[in-house]
Structure 1
């Protein structure tokens, strides 16, 4: 990736902060834009490799990441264009899971668009890195784009809508499992302090260790118990 390639990010919420945190660890310079100059300045103070961008600076970037909620992207671009900011140069990177990039291309056909959808949780990306992003085939030859995001983890080339499907499926089952655990512990008389610790510390870290095949001795024993229960309850077993 050329050192002359300039990057900026609009949106310093959870996802934007997670991305900036990881790029800061790699000392990758990134410009930060926020319409509230004070908020932009506060964000820049957290990341020594970052710099504050004024509205007019956006026109000169090579890449502008839109880490914005889906309903804010079109108004954001519309406001910039209305203010006379030319956006023909930068590649505008759509990260909003629920905003199809094709819709943005139709709304602003004179601008350059690329999809880069995050699969996962922003807090995990912020702490661990090791992210997973989805881009589309048309971006495969954009080495600057791919290199910048592979620095955060892995980029898969496929239909961008898969990001929403995976995030929704995982979130549904995570919330369902959390509610079931909360109910079970409450029914068995555990106080709130133990329920909170189980949900905030035990459960997420056990899932992380399980996904990496790194369960400890205690966790492996629990897996053996579960496998035994499943075997006894499987069709054709002698559990009757």
Structure 2
């Protein structure tokens, strides 16, 4: 690409696209959105940014696609491809879109995966994520640009889908279980939202950070004892 920071474009200004745009240290940042008003408003906040039509993607060295998974291929083929330089690269952030499939289906450009273990909402709250690309060359290219979002590692992008699927399923199961247990305990229904969004979310964050308080540590110890006893009982059968 370039010895200096490349000219970067972000296509799609949903939650993730906005967070990307806010944290990219590009000297020139091109913002492309269905909503020209939204792009223009965001560009005013960011030094070096400009809200531009798709035709100006020809100026970009690196194009981040932050659009829904089902839109990636049709948007690229029908609108973006004619305007992106042959030497430019596209960054695939869609968790559900395998970059190998994009390379096979859309071979006229270089495709780089960048998958997020985290969420745009967490980024908005000031947290960081873990980002996965496919090799050391791409990691070295992307880390100076997206390091403000979190650490970038080289690995298998399919890990991200597996991780996010497991975490999302378990989190939703926990949310449902909390509501059920509160009802069974005869507690007011309005407690459920606070228990899910404040207590459970805070406990998980502290558990991940290793900063559980005394109460959390005591409950964790009880759970570990219960799990150990259940494991012993299974082995005895």
1:57 corresponding residue in structure 2 = 56
Cα deviations by residue, 1:73-98 (Å, 9 ceiling, x for unpaired): 1121122257x424323210001111
Moved more, 26-35 or 203-212: 26-35
2:143 corresponding residue in structure 1 = 146
1:121 corresponding residue in structure 2 = 119
Distance (whole Å) between structure 2 residues aligned to residue 233 and residue 145 of structure 1: 45
Correspondence 1:197 to 2:194: yes
Q: CA deviation at 1:164?
A: 0.6
Paired residue secondary structure (1:92): strand
Distance (whole Å) between structure 2 residues aligned to residue 87 and residue 227 of structure 1: 56
Cα deviations by residue, 1:113-142 (Å, 9 ceiling, x for unpaired): 1111111222112223421111112x5266
Answer yes or no: is the 8 Å Cα contact 1:140–1:146 preserved in 2: no
The aligned length equals 233
Q: CA deviation at 1:49?
A: 5.5
TM-score by length of 1: 0.86
Answer yes or no: is the 8 Å Cα contact 2:115–2:132 preserved in 1: yes
Paired residue secondary structure (2:131): strand
1:87 corresponding residue in structure 2 = 85
Distance (whole Å) between structure 2 residues aligned to residue 108 and residue 234 of structure 1: 50
Distance (whole Å) between structure 1 residues aligned to residue 26 and residue 98 of structure 2: 31
Distance (whole Å) between structure 2 residues aligned to residue 16 and residue 127 of structure 1: 15
Distance (whole Å) between structure 2 residues aligned to residue 164 and residue 234 of structure 1: 29
Distance (whole Å) between structure 1 residues aligned to residue 199 and residue 97 of structure 2: 34
Cα deviations by residue, 1:145-196 (Å, 9 ceiling, x for unpaired): 2321233211121111111111101101110111111111012122132111
Write out aligned runs for 1:101-116 (5 A). 101-116=99-114
- For structure 2, the residue ranges without an aligned partner over 5 or more in a row are none
Correspondence 1:167 to 2:164: yes
Aligned-pair RMSD on alpha carbons? 2.5
Moved more, 204-213 or 44-53: 44-53
The 1:73/1:183 distance shift into structure 2, 3 A limit, reads same
Paired residue secondary structure (1:191): coil
TM-score by length of 2: 0.87
